[in-house]
Chain A
Amino acid sequence: MTTEIARHWRLKSQRYRLVGEVCPKCNNKMFPPRDVCPECADHSPQPAYQFSGRGEVYSYTTVHNPPEGYQEMAPYTVALIKLEEGPLVTAQLTDVANEDVKIGLPVEMVTRKLKTQGEEGLIVYGYKFRPQFTTA
């Protein structure tokens, strides 16, 4: 179990802050970050890029039969979020009833508990998305 700590720790910028990369050559904004730009195959180091965390629901579904480690949250809604900068991200939706979700719903990133591993295991935190507050 202890070896799994590094696996989550090394993704902290992505999980907690939604940090991706931007290709210096073609300006493609990427999340998750990659070593090679999938658009122009450029191998040069990619500067970090801070995504705003805002986007809209591209697609969604509700999981009733969860995998090991996710039972306590079920049923939960997972979605593809279209970030306002372009990329799609897979994440759970939170702070919204499953039946109120629809394609096009404006959402924003928040940090939540992603997974538990029993009494003594890790609790993994990371991004989820909730409906954007509407300002009058």
Chain B
Amino acid sequence: MRDVSIIGIGQTPVGEHWDRSLRHLAYDALAAAMKDANIEWADALYVGNMLSGEISGQAHLGPLIADFAGLRGIEAVKVEAACASAAAALRQAYIGVASGLQDIVIALGVEKMTDDVGSQLTAGLASAADADYEVIHGITFVALNALIMQRYMYQYQLKREDFAGFAINAHANGAGNPNAMFQQPIRKEDFIRSHMVADPIGLLDASPMADGAAAVILCPTEQARDFTENAIRIKASAVATDSLSVHDRRDPLWLQAAEDSARKAYRQAGVGPQDIDFFELHDAFTVMSALSLEASGFAERGKGTWLARDGEICLEGRIPITTRGGLKARGHPVGATGLYQVVEAVQQLRGEAGPNQVANARLGMTQNIGGSGATIITHIFERLDL
């Protein structure tokens, strides 16, 4: 196994890109990453994407994007794992380089959501759940998370506003990220007053749908200094799965796949949660932040919201999360999100996070969740002092 590093990053702003199609967004992120890494060619391209077939009527993204980006002929394939598609693409790229089969590899996440609106997009997102036993009952993705949050509040005797800290922190950090969809801070009153989407989930518990693309370039660490002095080492890469449906989980209030993938990642990196300087978690809904913090070892069961209440998740806190706005404020272009998290982690470790910089960040962790918790992918990154 070879050690693997990230030598280039690229992203588009997250938002409603009415003038850019899927292939253009992909190109923008890919070209920026290749320029950042000083490369003109790659051995392979892994494209993370969830909904291109449903929304754009476009499957077969590997060759589409490779050709459009001037890389006609290279190995290129799409990877799908619902909202965890981009981290799954990174995982494939990592395997390619670590195994020695490929040297320079691009991992790209792209999602074009605004070419469809309303009920069809809702149906497309729901396809991450069990079609025969969840979706047929009119379940939506928001509703699945609402079922989890409702029970979580009942079990641990919490109120809606106990989750406000997650959204407030995300928006505060989004204000410092020029690529974030929402760059305005919010107040606790805004959170409490926000209208119900699916009780108890209000509008400000939920991340927005958006267009966007993000990319990273990988190579063996021993070659990294040929390209850049800013290489960031991938210290751990781990995937775990759980039942597709919420009703089949042993405990619907516990992200077993988060625990399993985080545990594997900590073991690979030889570290524990106390060593992590910041954590880009998957805050698609505020309750997911709490569950992710608990299953990854940052909070005890049922006490994830305490970290938000006590200010432990802000940039100066014990475990800063969603440091560039997270899914909530940066936005959630589903199949691209996992690589936005990684690009942002690299920015932090390079010291390029501007007003959102976590002081002395050396070890960063990302966690990308597919569906209601069925695929969970955890990566740990380390600043490489060459």
Contacts and interface: CB of A to CB of B under 8 A. Distances in A.
Given A87-B247, A90-B133, A78 B151 contact: no
A90 B245 contact: yes
Contact of A61 (B120, B123, B133, B146): B146
Nearest to A102: B154
Contacts of A71: 119
Size bin of chain A's contact surface? 20 to 34
B248 A67 contact: no
Interface string B196-231: 111111000000000000000000000000000000
A16 interface: no
A64 B206 CA distance: 15
Nearest to B125: A67
Contacts of A80: 147, 151, 246-247, 252
Interface string B236-247: 000000010111
B138 A73 contact: yes
B197 A78 contact: no
Interface residues of B, number: 36
A32 B140 contact: no
Contacts of A73: 138
A90 B126 CA distance: 14
Interface string B96-140: 000000000000000000000011101100100010111111111
A126 B137 CA distance: 9
Contact of A68 (B119, B196, B245, B252): B119
Contacts of A60: 147, 150
A91 B136 CA distance: 9
B137 A61 contact: no
A115 interface: yes
B361 interface: no
A38 interface: yes
A32 B248 CA distance: 9
A62 B122 contact: no
Interface of A: 11, 32, 38, 58-71, 73, 76, 78-80, 87-92, 103, 114-115, 124, 126, 128
Given A65-B197, A103-B154, 16 more contacts: A38-B248, A59-B147, A59-B150, A63-B140, A65-B119, A66-B119, A67-B138, A68-B120, A78-B139, A78-B143, A88-B248, A90-B133, A90-B134, A91-B137, A115-B138, A124-B136
8 contacts: A38-B248, A61-B143, A61-B146, A61-B199, A66-B138, A78-B143, A79-B147, A90-B134
Interface of B: 118-120, 122-123, 126, 130, 132-140, 142-143, 146-148, 150-151, 154, 196-201, 243, 245-248, 252
